[in-house]
């Protein structure tokens, strides 16, 4: 078993190998004068089961190209298996044709990984479950509901409800409500004739501490709009859990200006210093990923890690 990392999330990769108890594989990444990627694996991997860690956060296209080139290098270096670990699977929102003449880019990324030579994929909280079906290789998806639930339990909050901010997140919210043994609240967003967003809240939130759970925060519109609606309906406090902190555009400013108490995120995407604000708390998924990698390597069940 050998673990290698590329440039997207080096800190998380180092945490993972520390959890496993092995050293990081030796490789180098350089650029030609015209920007082309050049990779070199600096140790033998012949016959080894290699694990390659790379998220596809910004600049996503650069990181995808690095990943594909490294997979090809490993295949040509006679690795036994090439297991791709993508904490954040980019382009996962483009999982269907929402309008005519649109691409299904999540499927394209799956095809590229397979064609390059990936043997399996380990990823965290896919935006849409059907993305797993785009692959013809094994896919192990890590779920962070238990991680967030454990953190919230330690906070000893009272009078909690779990909130699904969108219809697509109902399953995730229901899992958390079952773990915390608290009620669940649904939010239904509609647009009127003037294109303004109207939110209907299904469930009682007055006097409650609301916990919003979602898979990603991009521009912050959904989480801050949901927070304002919950406060208007009488919620005494609002927290949010989000696996992938993309935080593009005005997201940081919106979170700072909103009445939300705190946002819990994971380090599936490495946050630069300017995005580390007081309202954002990062929980590490390194122990979870390391556990799954060990289970894959030892041919043990991954699903029992989450069902139990």
- Give me the active site residues, please: 189
If one counts every other C-beta atom within 10 angstroms of the C-beta of residue 45, the result is 19
Residues facing residue 180 across a β-bridge: none
Cα 50-51-55 angle, rounded to 5 deg: 150
Distance CA 64, CA 275 (A): 23
Specify the residue for token string 């180098």.
28
- Pairing mode of beta strands 209-217, 237-245: parallel
State which H helix or E strand residue 74 sits in. helix 60-76
C-alpha separations of 174 from 57, 187, 286, 299 in Å: 28, 13, 25, 30
Q: Is-cis flag, bond preceding 98, omega within 30?
A: no
Distance CA 205, CA 237 (A): 10
What is the DSSP-derived secondary structure letter of residue 194? T
Token pair, residue 255, equals: 């979170």
Comparing CA positions, the residue from 78, 82, 179, 72 lying closest to residue 122 is 82
Contact, 51 vs 1, CB < 8 A? Answer: yes
Concatenated DSSP letters of 203-243 = S--TT-EEEEEEEEESSSHHHHHHHHHHHHTT-SEEEEEEE
C-alpha separations of 262 from 203, 223, 229, 259, 287 in Å: 22, 11, 16, 9, 23
């Amino acid at each position: 078993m050998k673990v290698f990392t590329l440039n997207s999330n080096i800190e998380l990769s180092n945490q993972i190998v520390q959890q496993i108890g092995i050293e990081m594989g030796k490789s180098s990444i350089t650029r030609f004068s015209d920007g082309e990627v050049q990779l070199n694996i600096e140790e033998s991997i012949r016959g080894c089961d290699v694990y390659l860690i790379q998220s596809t956060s910004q600049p996503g296209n650069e990181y995808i190209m690095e990943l594909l080139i490294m997979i090809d290098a490993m295949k040509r270096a006679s690795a036994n298996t090439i297991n791709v670990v993508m904490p954040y699977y980019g382009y996962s929102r483009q999982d269907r044709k929402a309008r005519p003449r649109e691409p299904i880019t999540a499927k394209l990324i799956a095809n590229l990984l397979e064609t390059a030579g990936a043997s399996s994929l380990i990823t965290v909280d896919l935006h849409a479950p059907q993305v797993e079906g785009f692959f013809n290789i094994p896919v192990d998806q890590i779920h962070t509901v238990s991680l967030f639930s454990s953190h919230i339990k330690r906070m000893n909050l009272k009078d909690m409800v779990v909130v699904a901010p969108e219809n697509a997140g109902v399953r995730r919210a229901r899992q958390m409500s079952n773990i915390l043994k608290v009620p669940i609240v649904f939010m239904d967003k509609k647009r009127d004739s003037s294109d303004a967003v109207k939110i209907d809240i299904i469930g009682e939130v007055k006097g409650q501490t609301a916990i919003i759970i979602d898979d990603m925060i991009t521009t912050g519109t959904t989480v801050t709009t949901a927070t304002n609606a919950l406060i208007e309906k009488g919620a005494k406090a609002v927290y949010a859990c989000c696996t992938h902190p993309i935080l593009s555009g005005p997201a940081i400013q919106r979170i700072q200006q909103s009445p939300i108490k705190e946002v819990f995120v994971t380090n599936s995407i490495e946050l630069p210093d300017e995005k580390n604000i007081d309202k954002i708390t990062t929980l590490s998924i390194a122990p979870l990923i390391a556990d799954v990698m060990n289970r894959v390597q030892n041919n043990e069940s991954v699903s029992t890690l989450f069902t139990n």
